[in-house]
Each structure stands twice: as C-alpha cells, then as structure tokens.
Structure 1
C-alpha cells in the first residue's frame, strides 16, 4: 500500500492521511473501486498497521519513538512530560505533536499560543482521545438535511462504540453523580451519558483505539487502485482553466519534485495546513482562513468521594486504567460547553498523581467552550516567508470576545460544581488551557450554501473558486462547536466522497 513510485496521473489525489482523508479513500474504494487514488502524507509511517493509533503500541519505548517521529520540525522540542507539567508556563506540545513556532500571536491579540500539528501517517488521528460526540443545538449544520445519516456513516467508519468502559467499577458512580448535577430540565439527548468513543475491545480484553487504519479498513488496503505515499510534501494543487488538474509533490527523502495529474484533488491536510496548501496553489477566495475558531478548554480534577479500592489495579505500560470510564456532558445552547469526564490517564492533559489507596479514583474533568465567530479571526499566509517545510508561513489573528470570556467564566464555575458533585476537588481552582490546546481548529475553509464570499466550499466540500478541488477536516465545519469535531468532519468527508464517486464513476 505504501510506495514511492509516483504515478503520472490518478483519478483522485488526496493530500493528508488523517481520518477525513482516509474517509475519502474508504468511500471511494467502496463505491467506485475502479478509480485510481493516490494519498500523500508529509510525515513518516509510525505504526503497524499503517495509520494506527500510537496508544495501541504496547511497548512504551516504541510508542515514544512513534510520537517523536510524528513531531516533524519540532521533534527535538520538549513535550508535556507528566502530572503538573501542563501548568509550568512553558510552551510545550503534547507528545506526538509540535507547536507553531512563530506567528501564533499578533500584537494586542490573544492568538493561539498552543497551536500544534502532527506529521505522520494517520495525522492527529494517531494521537487523539477518540471522543466522537454528536453535535447538538447551534453546533449542528442546519442546511444539511442528511446530517444524521452522515453521522451514522461516520460512526461506522470510525468504529464508534459506547460500551467499551461499561465494566469499569467507578463508571456508573461517576455518571450518577454528574447526572444529579446536570440532567434536570434537559432533553434526553442532552443528559449525561456514555461518551461515544472510537475504540473497541479485543477478545483478549485489551482496548484498541481507532485511527486512520480503521477508517481505511481492509477494503481500502486491499484496493489495488489505492496507493499511499508517506514523507511526501504536496507543495501545491495544479489547476487547468481554473479546475483541478493534479498536484506538485516533493519527496522528502530525496528532495526530488514530481507532478501527479488528477481529475480531482482532496486537500485534507488539517485545520491550518489545508488553507495553507490552497494559498500556496493560488486558490485564495475571500473567506480562506477566515472565521477561524478553536475551543477554549477548562480542566480540573476531583477525587471520587467514598471510592473504595478495587481488585483491578491501574494498567501499566501506558495502557489505560479502566476505573471510571469516559462520561459525556453534552453541549446545549443554554450551557454552551461540552464536557469530557474521564479516568485520569485517559485525559489528554496530566492533572494530578493518582491515589494509591484507590487507583483510578481521581477523575479528570474538561469543559470545552464554543467560540463566537468573527470574520477577522483568521490564519494568514506569507508570500515571502516560509515554514519548516518551505510552505507559506502562517500568522494567526485571534481574539476572544466579551461573550467568549463570559462563557469561559461560566465554564470555570460549572466545572467546580461538577467536581464537587463527583467528590473532592483537587486544587483551589480549575486551570484554563492556553488557547489552541484543544487542537480542534475549525472554519478556515468553511462550508456554505452559496458562493457569497463568506464560505470556501459547497455543501459537498468542493471549493467554489476551484472546481474539482475538495477540502476536508475540521476546517470545513461552518458552525461554532464545543464538542469534539472529528465525527462531524468525517461525516462531511463522506458527503464529499459520495459526490466524487457519482461524478467520476457514474
């Protein structure tokens, strides 16, 4: 499946190997298997199977090696190392990611100081928490009548389950206490519940986390018309008469440039690098990079009240402790934040040392808040300066509004209430993560219903200004969300892939 013999041309070129790029390859392999597909990834292959989640790597040293290999130009930089490190004040990325080293904050603005990337086969999907909640209320894209069916399909591709932690001894207790503090007055769908997760349990009981390997599936891996090219930078999309005509790539091992023709190009490079590729290609509609929005994040921890030690101890060697599971407090328009409450070592951020008397009884709480959309919140690109890959350098313009700050204040108060409902809060106050920490950058190639200058792509994700060029990723989502966006982004990719299958294969 992985090769470096570049074809002269293919039917579909996919830029990026994360979950949304993989979704395009999967749907096309299922619906139009005669189409030739080339997928290009700037980073290396770090797992077996290709594109797998690094948490599935049992050996700790091999796992750390995969994370470092994913850190691209930031491979030598320090990453978050352990409990308490997140509050140290240094700019540190999570393992497997690297920070935007310059241009993350403009004078007088808030910026995104924790803006980060992953460069590896599988993209950020090889390092994510696997949370796949559905959007609710104002998070939903109201002009897509088929959204629910698309989300169902995204569940299938990602292997989403809700029962992986049902055997955890504290999970019912956590959910019961959260429900008592949250559920009153909420519709059933917005009440405390199990977090939908892209994870399944093997016959031997071990958890397996989904990433691009699961999305690709055996049908894509077995497709003789599909090829994956790792360590290959796509420098620009080629156009002919304004339409997609292929991609120009540079093999990073040799620095040799190649041209690959394509009838359709899908740019799924991530929330910030997808608009970067369009900019480098001369595709620069007014909305490119605009309406950028991230989810501010508040974290806290609590020790479960009256939690007795269990026979099952915390798992070692990087495997997850399965004591309190993962619970979900859904977003509502009245409370515009989304909650992930999870056993400590499933949290993306180390919060505190565990309690040796009752392993797993310290629970991490996180609330993500929705951002007020602003036209001037954006990522710009330079015609003169370049980044570590030689692509146009980024400059982030980003400012919290008074409404955003008020929502954050509400989230800080609410997370304390939730911690007190669960048990004994740890520390005096919750910690507000540096902006960009969520890694959920949205809106920079946003979807719209018409080519009115306020969106980059159509409801099928085709770029208005460049027919045959499609965009994918969280960056396509046009609404302000608080919930994890991956499920929605994959759902939108399904819609785009179906459109390509219809157009190219009939």
Structure 2
C-alpha cells in the first residue's frame, strides 16, 4: 500500500493548528488536510470546551483523559498547603498536576518554572479560560506592519468567536469598571481603557457557552475524510525532510512502535511551546535558537472582598499599555478549593495581575536523548532563572494588586498576595520565536516558516518573540493566519 499523501499535515489540534486548518480551507478550498493529535478525543464534539459540561465529576473525569501519558488525578490540596497559599508561601500542591514540566525544583521560591500541556483533540482549546484580550503595542511583533497585525487580530476574533461584552447587563461589574476607570484610564487611548474581558463565548439565558476549537474548524468537521480528518491518539515521531524541504511525517499509534509515513506538500508543527521544539529536535532540525528564550508572564494573585449588590458575575480587564506593563483580570471566585475564612463576609473576587518577565536565551527547553517520554520523543526539561528586572516588576505588580483590591472593596482577610510559579499561566512563549532576519536568534520568519525551509511552519505561543503580559491566545491565532495564507497562496498555484 503506498503512503498516504496530503497537501497539508498539521501536527497539533489546538487553537493555532485549528486556525491554520480553517484559514487554509478558506483560501484554498480544495486542499487535502490531515490534522494529527497525540491525545484522545474526549468529547463527542471535536474540540468542544470542557466547561460546557455542568456535572463537575464528569468534567473532572474527562480532564484526566487530557493529561497525556500520565493520566492520574491531581490530588486535592491539603490543609497545610492551603494555609501556605493563604499566607503567600509556596504551595506544593501546584506541582502535582499530571503532565507537569518542572525546572529548578530545588529552589521553588525564586526560580521555579511549572508548565503543563494538554493532550486531546482540541488541545488547550478544550480547557482555556476563553479570555481574548488584544496585546498592547509594546507586546506586538515590531517587524510586522501595524495595520497588517491589527487586521489579523480582527480576523482571529472572528475565528475564535469573540464576544466583547458577554455579560453586558451586569450592573455591579459596570460600577466597578467606573471606579477602576477613574484610577487607571487617564492618558489611555479608548481601546486600552478598563473594559469587559473579551471572551470566546456565546451568551445564553443561563450564562455563556464556552468556545473550543470546534468553533474554529466549524463545518470542516463534516467534510469527507479525504478532504479533512483529525487522527487522534496518533503521535508524530519525525518530520521527514531533505535539502530544506519537508516531504512528510512519520506517525505511530500512541503507546506503540508500529509506524507509517504520510507524504506531505507542507507540514505545520503546532504542538505547543514545549512539544513543537521537541519534535523539530527529534527530526534533526536544530537551529541555534530552538528551545531557547522560553518566557512566560508571572501571575500575582490577589483575593479581594466586595460588598456591592447584586453579586458580580462578569469578568473585567485592565489592559497593558506601554506605561502600564501589567494585564489585570478581575472576576468572581468561588474559593472552591479552599475553606472560606469566617472573617470573609462579602463576595470573594479573584484578581490576576499578569506581569511580564525578561527574555533570555539562557532560559530554555532541553531534550534528553537517553530518556523518552510517553510519545517516544526525547524527554523534556526546562532551565529557567528569573532576573533582577523580574523582581522589580513583581514588587510593582504586588502593589498594583493591593491598590485594585482597595478599589474593589478591600483585600480579603486571611489571604496574602501571592506570586504563582512562572509557567502557571500556561502561556509560555518564545521557544520557536519568529525573527526579522535569520541571524541565529530566531527559528522562523514573520510568517512562521522555519528558516532554511520552503514548506515547514511552526505555530502556537512559541512563535511570539516579545515580552508580554496579555493572554496570548488571540495574538497566537492572529500570527497563525499569516502562515496559513502564505501556504494557501503558494501551494494552490503549484
């Protein structure tokens, strides 16, 4: 039997890979697309969001299936760990999430990196918060024309189904935004003022329906298999290439060694910021910058107490600007994993002050050829260390969180301001970063095409080359549209 042949093979089924598929389909209707996913299909609907499942036990059981080769439940937080979290200390329960990647474990107070990656059809698109804020000008790629990137961000909003104010009738949230605006809006352009958090949701009478990658690929789901198909529980072990041209991929069923080859005119690697460089490394594609510059924003977590009535339901956002480097999300919280202290009488409101960290080529992902992970690829480890600039910004972020808590009501009694380990946001970036020129400091060009290759592209948060504080999903999907259009326009004319 001859090898299967496709016009485009996309490795990874998360938001970036799905955006490639949808954009290519729109620009190149006859393209034959194969999407490869190492994890299982955990829901009947391809890539649907888990938070739409009302039963918490059912949802929890499905989340376990998305944890890759280590499918164990995360143990519940202990009393001692909860007390440590409340007091602003180190909470070891955060390191027990299955599938976790940990760096510098011996020094958790300063240089810990704790990341996680889902493995299921839809990738992290089945689990994400659905927040879709847009990056500030300082966070945007400087070598992509401003108008072109703005148009791509608008296109990404359409792909994700973004709603700018999904709980528009929440009067308590509106009043809070007015108070926050009085403190933070001066000098800001209208689009960077305090506002509702844009979210990839559909408002309903009961609340909202969360969007997963099912919304991105939409009616592609019903296409004939020869036109579009997602191969679940299928691992890509290697990109086959010769003389700067990818010719196919070597695939196998997860947990087996039996492999086969799919010929491909174009390959897009959209695993995530950890597994995309892993696959390139395993394939012998090892540019100098591969895996380097791993970067994430810290989350400074602050619980506030609100006495406004009725209780708030909506999420609010204080955008980052050139002068204000933090992206702040504010939303009701249930404190479901922690006992509610008796001195807390009002509504608990959670706050995340997202704080950028410095970019360094020495912060990197490493691959161990002597050990294999559950995919059969070189095992991943992470080297990361915070900088003096990180510490300075964190002090300012903590002060900002306390200031906002006073505007909300007051800092919740019994809860300290805490800094989550970098990586906890799951927004890590930079490991396959784009660059303006092939100078050894980047892996791909502005269209995410790997330097030195004609038809190999990378996708996901890993391509972002800048310091960021803002949730990167919208940004990542926007950048994916550049590469997808280049593929469609180049290949359909061949």
> TM-score, normalised on structure 1?
0.89
Shift of 1:61: 2.6
1:484 matched to which residue of 2? 471
Does 2:229 match 1:227?
yes
Unaligned runs of 5+ in 2: none
* Contact 1:344-1:351 at 8 Å conserved across structures: no
Q: Structure 1 residue 212: deviation in Å?
A: 0.8
Please report how far the alpha carbon of residue 409 of structure 1 lies from its aligned counterpart in structure 2 after TM superposition: 0.5
Maintained 8 Å contact 1:301/1:352 = no
Aligned equivalents of 2:416, 2:107: Cα separation in 1:
29
After superposition, where does 1:69-88 map in structure 2 within 5 Å? 69-79=65-75, 85=82, 87=85
Secondary structure at the aligned position of 1:389 is classed as coil
1:373 to 359, 363, 366: 359
Conserved 8 A contact 2:46-2:221: no
Aligned to 2:52: 56
Q: Which residue of structure 2 aligns with residue 318 of structure 1? A: none
1:340 aligns with 2:329: yes
Name the CA distance, whole Å, in 2 between partners of 1:400 and 1:414: 20
Match of 1:295 in 2: 297
CA positional deviation for 1:98 = 2.8
What is residue 141 of structure 1 aligned with on the other side? 141
Aligned equivalent of 2:202:
200
**In the superposition, relative to structure 1, how do residues 492 and 234 fare at CA in structure 2: closer, same or farther (>3 Å)?**
same
Against the structure 1 CA distance between its residues 169 and 32, is the aligned structure 2 distance closer, same or farther, given a 3 Å change threshold? same
**CA 1:8 to 1:82, structure 2 compared with 1: closer, same or farther past 3 Å?**
farther
Change in Cα spacing, 1:487 to 1:413, as seen in structure 2 (3 Å) is: same
Distance 1:12 1:354, change over 3 A: farther
Which residue number in structure 1 is paired with residue 124 of structure 2? Answer: 124
Pairwise CA distance, 1:388: 2.9
2:11 is matched with which residue? 15
Name 1:164's counterpart in structure 2. 166
Matched residues, number = 483
The question of whether the paired residues in 2 share the 8 Å contact of 1:265 and 1:469 is answered with yes
Cα 1:155–1:358, aligned 2, differ >3 Å: closer, same or farther? farther
2:278 counterpart residue number: 276
- 1:335 Cα deviation (Å)? 2.0
Residues 1:223 and 1:491: Cα distance change in structure 2 (over 3 Å): farther
Indicate conservation of the 8 Å contact 2:103/2:112, yes or no. no
Aligned to 1:66, which of 44, 62, 85? 62
Moved over 6 A (4+): 106-109, 354-359
C-alpha change, 1:338 and 1:201, in structure 2 (3 Å) is: same
CA contact 1:244–1:466 (8 Å) conserved in 2: yes
Structure 2 counterparts to residues 359-438 of structure 1, below 5 A:
361-426=347-412, 427=414, 429-438=416-425
Which residue in 1 is equivalent to 2:254?
252
Q: State whether structure 2 residue 323 is matched by structure 1 residue 331.
A: no
Report the counterpart of residue 474 of structure 1 in structure 2. 461
Query: CA 1:105/1:463 → structure 2, altered by over 3 Å: closer, same or farther?
Result: farther
